[in-house]
Structure 1
Amino acid sequence: MLKRFSMPRIPPMNSTSIEISELRQQLDAPFNLSKEQIAFYVENGYVKLKHVLLPSLLEHYRVAISGRVAELSVDVAPMNERDTYGQAFLQIMNLWTKSEAVREFVFGKRLARIAAELMGVTGVRIYHDQALYKEAGGGITPWHADQYYWPVSSDKTITAWVPLQNTPQEMGPLAFCEKSHRFQIGRDLEISKESETTLKEALQNFRTEDSGFDLGDISFHAGWTFHRAGVNASDRPREVMTVIYMDEDMRLVPPKNKNQKLDIERWCPGINIGDVIASPLNPVLYSTREKTNPEAVYA
């Protein structure tokens, strides 16, 4: 029997129009990324950055994001009827196409610029976004690498993982296997019990970073960096918004598995193999080549 996913009551926001305008400006304001932070990302395949966005900004957009997640998660099976993937989190993709407020957040240049600078590219396009909500009592997110799913021509891909509340260990924060973005074993595994078992053994000699996140902290990880998350042992959902970026010159390649074939259909409409992934769903969000003014599908 299906049930409606219920979110905690979202309190009304009392922000003035001036305050909201100031919050929006911060979405595009540059972040002072240090050479040491870039070097850490290149070496380890991820980086956790402190105080990237103001807690008040995240709370403002949390209301919009969580509201749409609740509306779009009307019918979800009970936890005990889902598979390992389904127990890990509720997943709503390309939420920016379903809410103008979410679009504002996802299209912010601050995070996009960080993504470009960490990867050492001139600019980035959006591949897609994902709201990842691990319900209270939600299970583990198995070890996996995101780029298994992506039919792209290079490893210049990166995900911003943005918690919308303080996320201590008990809530299941994202955990990273350091230096695993150069590891070849497991790149043919989709997220599953098998990937958890196989990679847990294969990566046992690598260091794992699994500390919590304060509100305002954001992590960035490479497409081939192996990562996981523990159970949510708290009494409230772990609310997280993510944005996947790719090099603005990224090209579409032939799919290597059924998941990549589905990704071509969903996220790269109208793009031919070998072409730059410049569909209406993949606008440039930040570039040093020219002033960016994303023109993209919104429905």
Structure 2
Amino acid sequence: MSCMNQMSSSDFILLGLLICSKNSLVFFSSVLLIFILIVTENTLLILLIHGDSQLCSPMYFLLKHLSFMDIFHISRIVPKIITNFLSGSRTISFAGCGFQIFLSLTLLGGKCLFLAVMPYNCYVAICHPLLYAKLMSDKVSVMMAAEFLLVVTLNSIVHTAHALHFPFCHCRTIDHFCEVPAMLKLSCVNTFRYEQGACVSSTIFLLIPYIMISASYVQILLIVFQTKSSEARKKFFSTCSFHMVVVVIYYGPFIFTYLGTKSYHTPGEDKFLAVFYTIPTPTLNPAIYSFRNKDVLKAMKTCSEVIFIIKGRKDA
């Protein structure tokens, strides 16, 4: 009867990340605190980069866009979780689900491309310093960001339209939140041909950037080993090892979720992997890419000193 009632409506039922139990309030509080932490630290990073003239290099330009995408990505999920938890309703409209899919594909795809360019930026700076001003100029960085956003937006429109076009003859119950793999599991038609096309798209946005990241770090590693400075090697390993942790945490679950047919993994696995590439990376990115950076720490110190001086003048 529940399935029949759902089939008479265009709304979907989000089971969500919160399961009704005595521990749900604890989990809800944890999700809310993580959401506040992600928004706060990424907003702080954006303000620092925007307000400090010393942080105007292409690296920080990319970091600023990465922080914007992290904020929007976590904001497409957590507010809906909070609303559903407080209201007791688990429904999401057809248009709302489509908007979640569109934002998911746009932000996750864009993040894949930006994460791939950042190691390339380091590679050019270390391996070809004389060409850096030409290959990674402000104009090139802006054009690159605009092209990335255009490509991922067009890709998202196509896949969102296809995912919502399939007839849904099963219960309209989604295990976590609206994504293409979850929508394919609800379809009662053979989606194998579409999944093949989606696999090609996933290869472009996942495997190729991952290969670029690996190749960039290998080239940097070869240059670092040729130097006699132990300090340079120590700095490389302390920085790049954390970078690779973020890449593996982000790309690994993403590749498993989007590469392969819907029969390869269960809804429980999809939920776990979705949480894995949604929450840890936006939390870790500012700390790993920026707050361990001397320039950012210097900008934070300068900003705090200015605030202290202004506060002291007001008190006086």
Which of the five TM-score ranges fits, normalised by the shorter chain? under 0.3
More strand as a share of residues: 1
Q: TM-score, normalised by structure 2?
A: 0.26
More helix as a share of residues: 2
* Rg (Cα) greater in structure: 2
Q: TM-score, normalised by structure 1?
A: 0.27
